[in-house]
């Protein structure tokens, strides 16, 4: 589902500058001197709301002026809004953002901007161009699979292959809980315990109440959050051109980007690229006991050489990690051979998982994510005025 976005609104009115007390100016210089000026005006109102236990989006105004014979003349003006849509609507991002709620979100944002003397119409919010976007999904974790923290630690051994879209990763275990993060210069993919994050960083009144109940042990199911951040306009446009049903173009609106099918496609694709495809499946083989490993490889690998190599690779991953084991294989074997063993690993576990011979964290999360069942508040039916059939918190 769509979560946080940065949108640029061009059609707006400022009725007063009293809330925009800070300004930063930048002269635009060329070969023949200054040809324009870029000004950014800021407000500290979101920080004031945070101190009072309220959520308010981050807002600033950008103004571009160009030099003429009459002096500096305004040429472009935009309202830039960075907002967590679930937090704006519900007061907490523990819920998924159902696209049916988008008109309500637009109205809520319009009302919020009135507090800082900025006038915007709902249709201008929905038609605003998206410059940054986070797609996310809350997965309710059954207690039979253990705690969310235990599940995240089970994912720790996975390391990224060189051809991955992500070239760095962080494992963090601190006072704000445990999270896994993969990232590059334009994207971030993170998995973390949402209850732990709220208990540590929650500021709104609803978040503080959720944290209190969580610490008291009310919540029996875990809340694992999977989130993909597209941090640059070019990345947003490229992703939406690939997955959106809208006409391929440069610049997509909030309404076009908020489709649930887009969120599902990009999150499932990223999760599978990180944890399922290629040699990443070897990590699951390496977790098995020797007798289980031999049975599984013997049942699903027909060729003796394939069985021997896969057994060896599973132990190398267990002892030295995935990245080292694959680097060794690439040094010793031709690219064609490496590709053949990659397909063999995928084939073995695909067959085993189809028969449910292997029950593990990755297949479980993959099934939950593929189902993409929204987690929504109990009162949503009354809000929408329609019957719903989703997971409820």
Per-residue model confidence as pLDDT tens digits over 114-148:
999 999 999 999 999 999 999 999 998 887 777 78
pLDDT: is 240 or 33 the higher one? 240
How far is Cα 85 from Cα 17, in angstroms, rounded to an integer?
25
Tokens of 255: 């309404």
List the beta bridge partners of residue 54: none
Q: Where are the domains of the chain?
A: 2-275+372-376, 289-357
Distance CA(392)–CA(377), nearest Å, equals 6
- pLDDT, tens only, 90-102: 888 888 888 889 9
Q: Which of 358, 389, 357 is nearest to 374 (CA)?
A: 389
Residue 27 has pLDDT above 50, yes or no: yes
- Given the structure tokens 């997509």, which residue do they identify? 252
**The residue to which tokens 């040699």 are assigned:** 279
Helices 260-275 and 233-243: crossing angle, nearest 10°?
100
The C-alpha atoms of residue 2 and residue 88 are separated, in whole angstroms, by 13
Question: Which band of pLDDT confidence, cut at 50, 70 and 90, is reported for residue 392?
Answer: very low
Helix H or strand E segment including 23? strand 22-30
């Amino acid at each position: 589902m769509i979560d946080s976005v940065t949108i640029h609104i061009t059609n707006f009115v400022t009725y007063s500058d009293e809330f925009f007390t800070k300004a930063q100016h930048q002269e635009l210089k060329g070969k023949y001197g200054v040809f324009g000026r870029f000004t950014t005006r800021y407000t500290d109102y979101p920080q004031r709301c945070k101190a009072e236990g309220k959520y308010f989006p981050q807002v600033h105004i950008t103004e571009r002026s160009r030099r003429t014979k009459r002096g500096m003349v305004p040429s472009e003006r935009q309202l830039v809004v960075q907002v967590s849509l679930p937090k704006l609507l519900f007061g907490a991002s523990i819920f998924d953002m159902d696209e049916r709620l988008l008109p309500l979100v637009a109205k809520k944002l319009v009302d919020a901007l009135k507090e800082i003397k900025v006038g915007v119409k709902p249709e201008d919010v929905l038609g605003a161009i998206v410059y940054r976007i986070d797609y996310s999904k809350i997965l309710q974790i059954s207690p039979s699979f253990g705690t969310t923290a235990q599940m995240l630690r089970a994912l720790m051994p996975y390391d990224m292959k060189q051809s991955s879209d992500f070239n760095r990763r962080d494992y963090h275990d601190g006072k704000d809980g445990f999270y896994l993060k993969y990232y590059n210069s334009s994207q971030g993919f993170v998995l973390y315990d949402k209850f732990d994050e709220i208990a540590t960083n929650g500021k709104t009144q609803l978040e503080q109440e959720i944290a209190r109940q969580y610490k008291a042990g009310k919540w029996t199911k875990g809340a694992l959050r999977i989130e993909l951040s597209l941090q640059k306009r070019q990345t947003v446009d490229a992703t939406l051109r690939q997955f959106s049903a809208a006409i391929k173009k440069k610049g997509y609106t909030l309404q076009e980007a908020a489709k649930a099918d887009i969120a599902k496609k990009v999150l499932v694709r990223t999760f599978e690229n990180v944890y399922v495809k290629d040699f990443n499946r070897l990590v699951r083989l390496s977790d098995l006991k020797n007798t289980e490993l031999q049975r599984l490889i013997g049942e699903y690998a027909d060729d003796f050489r394939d069985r021997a190599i896969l057994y060896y690779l599973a132990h190398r991953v267990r002892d030295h990690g995935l990245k080292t084991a694959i680097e060794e294989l690439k040094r010793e074997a031709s690219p064609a051979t490496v590709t053949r063993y990659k397909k063999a690993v995928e084939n073995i576990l695909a067959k085993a998982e189809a028969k449910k011979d292997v029950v593990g964290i990755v297949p479980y999360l993959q099934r939950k994510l593929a189902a993409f069942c929204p987690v929504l508040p109990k009162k949503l039916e009354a809000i929408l005025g329609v019957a719903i059939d989703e997971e409820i918190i």
